[in-house]
Amino acid sequence: MKTKFITACLLALSCVTSISAIAREEKPLDAFIRHVKESHSFVTVNDLWQTNQAFDKKELLKNVEKAQPLTIDYTKVADFLQKKMTAINLVIPGPDGTTYTIELARYDFTSNDFEVHAMGANGVDTKVEYTPGLHYSGVVKGIPGSLASFSFFKNEVYGIFSTPEGNFVVEPNTMVGESYNYNQNYLCYNDQDILFKDKAPKCGSDLLQDVRPAHKTTTTINNNVYNNCTEVRCFEVVDYTMYVKKGSNVTTVTNYLNSMFNVKNTIYRNEGIPIVLKYVQVNTITDRFAPLGTTAAGASGVWLDTFGKITQNTMHGCDQATLFTTKGGSMGGVAWLGTMCMPYQASSFAGPYAFCNIDNTTSLTVSPFATFSWNIEVAAHEMGHNLGSPHTHRCCWGATRTTAIDGCYTIEGTCADPGNPTTAVGGTIMSYCHLTSSGIKFVNGFGTQPGDTVRYEIANTFSSTCGAAYHPGYALNLAGKTLSANRECTDMSTGYTYYWKDNLTASHADDTLVLMIKKNGNNIGNLNTTGFSVKQNTLAAFGTNVGTATTFPTGTIGVGTTNVSMNRYWTVATPSSAALALAVEVVFPFVVKDSADVDGSVTGTPLALTNFRMYKVNSTTVSADPSAAFTGGSSAIFSVYKYGATASTANWSLTRSADTCFAHILTKTLVGGGSGFYPSGAVTGVENVTAGNANVFVYPNPTDNNWFVSITGSTSNEMTMQIFSADGKIVHTQALQTTTTNTVNAENLPVGMYYYRVVGNEATYTGSLMKK
């Protein structure tokens, strides 16, 4: 048996800076439900289960200290499935007479190319038509930081909701019937109350050899949620034993597998780690795992080795693979540590593989007591090893990477035993605390250091040839819509953060990009921050070949006598409206129809996109909607951008991908919003108003400190600039060099409108300026 210890351990230190005394950072699932509430009403569902006070608890209480027997109404389940409600308040009778309300929203965790396959005779892998159930995730109402996950099928329902009190399980009572065959008897219990914790599954990963050089330890800061755009694609295999136990039916065994993945996905999402289920394979005949033992020391490792030899690099486009069995014995789970993106190693049978023995029984019919949460724990735990995290009782944590986080099992190494967490605190996913009174609480997730380790591993191991680095590229293309981003990720190679609407699925097919922002080191918050939002709206006239006539406040620089805007606009709200230390780049996606709308309202030669300008409203109170007349706004809150080759605080630049166009601008005032427009007639601002061959460019305009002035095409080496106040008084005079960019200091000028005159040998140039 393999005996060499793996010494790798990563530690990432998180640096969190408060951006507002009012704003707070929520857990991703709390934010998920908050975003859903913006556009959906939650329907109360309180009639699926009823308490069963007549149930004889004698045998039940030999397994669990307390539990609430329930009966389910499958007629009402069928009605619920038919309605396919997006958001619900699910009412659950809990132990001790407590009633819980679970705020849930539908979320489909499968990829857009998800498939179920049956492995049959002669190794023939056949795709099977599979009708999925409804999967929901969310929180317990009134308990911030909680998490919940429920899966509904016509013949069974599985659910978990986790609070600081523990993991509450809702599942069929397999003591009195099969789980998958319309079992009317259900249980709701807290797995803290299970009486046979010593029988819980253990992990054998500490006995596996090191198949990859030890990772460098790290003190990388800001290793937080959303720091990369990689999602982990999962391949799950069911052995023949589990297939038989679940009724020799591909659908019922897949339902159970998906129920577990739903909870695992919820736990990982709450850590900012996107995972998707891409491929399920069910062995429907006696397989190569059948002869393997279940009780000898190291039995789990033999199963893992066999799985590696069978799978090798046939991963069906996935990044991580897990084998499940219900064969029982003394096995638990085992997985290779830190093997993501590693091809199959023939010498050790290693790769990104995990093995999970679930249900903890040798019976092929009915388990004595169902332990759904333990099955999820082992699945989440073993995948965590593949993603780089050792056990929490290993001596590789802390500031020096030499201490253990807890002592819930025999310490791996020579460091001191730190003891067990209290029952009130509980353990984390990579611990063995489920074997103790401490328990593992899913609300704790991975904990800070193991979670940072996994996020760091994903960000630094996955590449263009391994892993699914993804960000959406399609803009909103429907009229009269408000799109609020509920997902974000930062592409570390480009620095752009993508904000999009995922339509409550992991599938890419229905994603719509809302906005992109290059933060340039500014802490602007994220979608988990209250008070932070990124939205895009289309007007009812979108796609009609008629643009929106737009009236800007008097004195707005860079607009025309008449102006026609796109029928779309974007907005950003942040917890703080203060100016940023460095300008951020905002990328506004739009489509060819937007250009056609404006063009349809402007007579003459068809417009090129470079004829357009972009405006930005720098205000939290004035709408950026081009049809709303900017009520309450003045010219001082507007920035107008002309087209240029490079984005700046004065120019917008253009990139394209098929029919989607991207307008890039720079701004130090992120709050507010904007759109694109075409100015007609006389244009106010920095344009030249007298004949001549030179061009005078003044930017940014408006400014709060300096204007930069550059001159091209002049025959003069030096020109003179005069700035006049609104009442005609000269407030500043300065010589300008035509061979360089000149800085004109405006810091001491009062806020307001100014005019300039630039005089050279061949001509005089005038324009207006704004100090904000």
Beta bridge partners of 167: 162
Q: Is 413 left (phi over 0), alpha (psi -120 to 50) or beta?
A: left
Reported confidence tier of residue 208, pLDDT bands at 50, 70, 90: low
Mean pLDDT, residues 262-271 taken together: 97
Using CA atoms, how far apart are residues 343 and 249, in angstroms rounded to an integer?
Answer: 32
Contact 263, 160 (CB under 8 A): yes
For the chain, helix (H) and strand (E) counts, in that order, are 8, 39
Tokens read off for 29: 């699932």
- What whole-number percentage of the chain has pLDDT above 70? 91
pLDDT for 207? 59
Helix (H) or strand (E) holding 502, with range, is none
* pLDDT 10s digits, 112-161: 999 999 999 988 999 999 999 999 999 999 999 999 999 999 999 999 99
**Which of 224-228, 552-556, 735-739 shows the lowest per-residue confidence on average (mean pLDDT)?**
224-228
- What whole-number percentage of the chain has pLDDT above 90? 69
Beta bridge partners of 547: none
Residue 706: is its pLDDT beyond 50? yes
Mean pLDDT, residues 274-279 taken together: 96
pLDDT for 360? 58
Q: Which of 734, 732, 726, 720 is nearest to 754 (CA)?
A: 726
pLDDT for 559? 94
Using CA atoms, how far apart are residues 172 and 410, in angstroms rounded to an integer?
Answer: 34
Residue scoring higher pLDDT (22 or 642): 642
pLDDT for 462? 84
* pLDDT 10s digits, 168-177: 999 999 998 8
Reported confidence tier of residue 218, pLDDT bands at 50, 70, 90: very low
pLDDT for 636? 92
Residue 43: is its pLDDT beyond 50? yes
Name the residue ranges covered by the structural domains of the chain: 28-444, 481-680, 695-771
Residue scoring higher pLDDT (743 or 461): 743
Residue 502: is its pLDDT beyond 80? yes
Residue 165: is its pLDDT beyond 80? yes
Residue scoring higher pLDDT (510 or 10): 510
Per DSSP, the residues of 65-99 read S--EEEEE-HHHHHHHHHH--SEEEEEEE-GGG-E
Mean pLDDT, residues 764-772 taken together: 77
pLDDT for 220? 47
pLDDT for 251? 98
pLDDT for 23? 73
Contacts of 135 (CB under 8 A, 6+ apart): 106, 107, 108, 109, 149, 150, 151, 152, 258, 262
Mean pLDDT, residues 535-556 taken together: 97
* pLDDT 10s digits, 436-494: 999 999 999 999 999 999 988 888 888 767 776 788 999 999 999 999 999 999 887 88
Q: Classify 513 as helix, strand or coil.
A: strand
Reported confidence tier of residue 367, pLDDT bands at 50, 70, 90: low
Using CA atoms, how far apart are residues 212 and 61, in angstroms rounded to an integer?
Answer: 47
Fold of 28-444: Collagenase (Catalytic Domain) (3.40.390)
* pLDDT 10s digits, 62-99: 999 999 999 999 999 999 999 999 999 999 999 988 99
pLDDT for 567? 98
| DSSP state, residue 62 | G
Reported confidence tier of residue 756, pLDDT bands at 50, 70, 90: confident
Mean pLDDT, residues 616-626 taken together: 96
pLDDT for 584? 94
pLDDT for 256? 98
pLDDT for 346? 96
**Which of 212-216, 632-636, 646-650 shows the lowest per-residue confidence on average (mean pLDDT)?**
212-216
**Which of 96-110, 327-341, 576-590, 750-764 shows the lowest per-residue confidence on average (mean pLDDT)?**
750-764
Residue 221: is its pLDDT beyond 60? no
Q: Which of 560, 545, 562 is nearest to 601 (CA)?
A: 545
**Which of 246-255, 576-585, 649-658 shows the lowest per-residue confidence on average (mean pLDDT)?**
576-585
Residue type, 263: V
Per the prediction, the chain carries an average pLDDT of 88
Residue 605: is its pLDDT beyond 90? no
In the chain, % helix, strand, coil (3-state, to 5) comes to 15, 35, 50
CATH architecture of 695-771: Sandwich (2.60)
Q: What is the pTM of this model?
A: 0.84
Residue 224: is its pLDDT beyond 60? no
CB atoms near residue 335 (< 10 Å):
26
Phi and psi angles of residue 595, each rounded to the nearest 5 degrees, phi first: -65, -40
Phi and psi angles of residue 377, each rounded to the nearest 5 degrees, phi first: -60, -45
Query: In terms of DSSP bridges, do strands 125-128 and 110-119 run parallel, antiparallel, or are they unpaired?
Result: antiparallel
Residue 618: is its pLDDT beyond 60? yes
